[in-house]
């Protein structure tokens, strides 16, 4: 991923990237995205973009393994999050879903992850401490709750599933208040041009619709240009 592509991805929303992937692939039908409604801790901060650092957690019941095993895995988890390629985001599957109760993402944990130079979190689990989370570290989560329950790390660096989206450690992920997607590796070299083409073609209709005197005739003319430009 080039610096210019990263900057562009950070400036657009996830629906735009979803459409641009189809432009790059030359067809409709891209489906590697989340299903359902997710919650954004800071929707005004825009998208989080980066290579996935994955893990699985649980919180409904106390861990059954020895305390030293749990502590060692927790530290291994933080080492995993502190290392690896950047930009990166944390992608966490809460194994208790859809009955998640353990808010792993509060003021302290988000501050630690931001300190590790991660761009944000995508999870099907719980977040809390809204209003106290650090600026510049959005969390896209499945729910909001007050308690951490018995939250503990179960797996590190394994494939995860968040709202129907399967994510492997190292996948390029784009997420915002609309949800998230995984960018297919094969289209990354073409993605910047595809986004720019998409924005240019959409502007044809948007400019016409926002201009004074817009009517069906002007819409028809703009739509014809739009159709011609995007093929």
Concatenate the DSSP letters of all residues of 23-82 into one string.
HHHTSS----B--S--EES-GGG--EEEEEEEEEEE-SS---S-HHHHHHHHHHHHHHHH
pLDDT one-digit tens code per residue, 42-101: 999 999 999 999 999 999 999 999 999 999 999 999 999 999 999 999 999 999 999 999
Tokens linked to 207: 């400019």
Residue intervals of the chain classified under CATH 3.50.30.40 are 31-183
Closest CA to 111 of 90, 87, 97: 90
Provide, rounded to the nearest whole percent, the portion of the chain with pLDDT above 90.
97
Distance separating alpha carbons of residues 160 and 145, to the nearest angstrom: 22
What is the pLDDT at residue 92? 98
What is the pLDDT at residue 231? 59
Distance separating alpha carbons of residues 55 and 158, to the nearest angstrom: 6
Distance separating alpha carbons of residues 93 and 160, to the nearest angstrom: 6
The H-assigned helical ranges of 126-215 are 188-210
Mean pLDDT score of the chain, rounded to an integer? 97
pLDDT bucket at 134, cuts 50 / 70 / 90: very high
The domain 31-183: what is its CATH number? 3.50.30.40
Contact 179, 163 (CB under 8 A): yes
What is the pLDDT at residue 228? 86
Mean pLDDT, rounded, for 169-189: 98
Distance separating alpha carbons of residues 58 and 18, to the nearest angstrom: 30
Taking the CA atoms of 127, 164, 85 and 41 in sequence, report the sign of the dihedral they define: negative
pTM score of the predicted model: 0.95
What is the pLDDT at residue 229? 82
Distance separating alpha carbons of residues 64 and 61, to the nearest angstrom: 9
pLDDT one-digit tens code per residue, 160-176: 999 999 999 999 999 99
How far from 191 is each of 26, 147, 184, CA to CA, in Å? 12, 40, 10
213: phi then psi, degrees, rounded to nearest 5: 85, 15
Mean pLDDT, rounded, for 26-48: 96
């Amino acid at each position: 991923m080039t610096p210019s592509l990263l900057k562009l991805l950070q400036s657009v929303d996830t629906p735009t990237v979803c459409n641009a992937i189809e432009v790059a692939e030359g067809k409709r039908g891209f489906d590697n995205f989340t299903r359902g409604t997710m919650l954004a801790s800071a929707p005004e901060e825009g998208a989080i973009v980066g290579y996935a650092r994955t893990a699985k957690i649980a919180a409904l019941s106390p861990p059954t393994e020895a305390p030293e095993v749990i502590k060692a895995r927790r530290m291994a988890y933080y080492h995993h999050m502190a290392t690896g390629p950047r930009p990166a985001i944390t992608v966490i599957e809460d194994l208790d879903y859809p009955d998640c109760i353990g808010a792993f993402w509060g003021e302290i944990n988000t501050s630690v992850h931001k300190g590790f130079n991660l761009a944000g979190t995508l999870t099907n689990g719980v977040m809390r401490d809204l209003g106290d989370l650090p600026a510049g570290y959005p969390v896209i989560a499945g729910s909001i709750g007050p308690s951490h329950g018995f939250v503990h790390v179960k797996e590190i660096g394994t494939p995860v599933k968040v709202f129907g989206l399967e994510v492997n450690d190292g996948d390029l992920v784009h997420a915002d208040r609309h949800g998230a997607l995984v960018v297919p590796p094969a289209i990354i070299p073409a993605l910047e041009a595809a986004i720019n083409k998409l924005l240019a073609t959409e502007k044809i209709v948007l400019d016409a619709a926002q201009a004074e005197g817009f009517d069906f005739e002007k819409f028809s003319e703009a739509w014809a240009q739009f159709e011609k430009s995007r093929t």
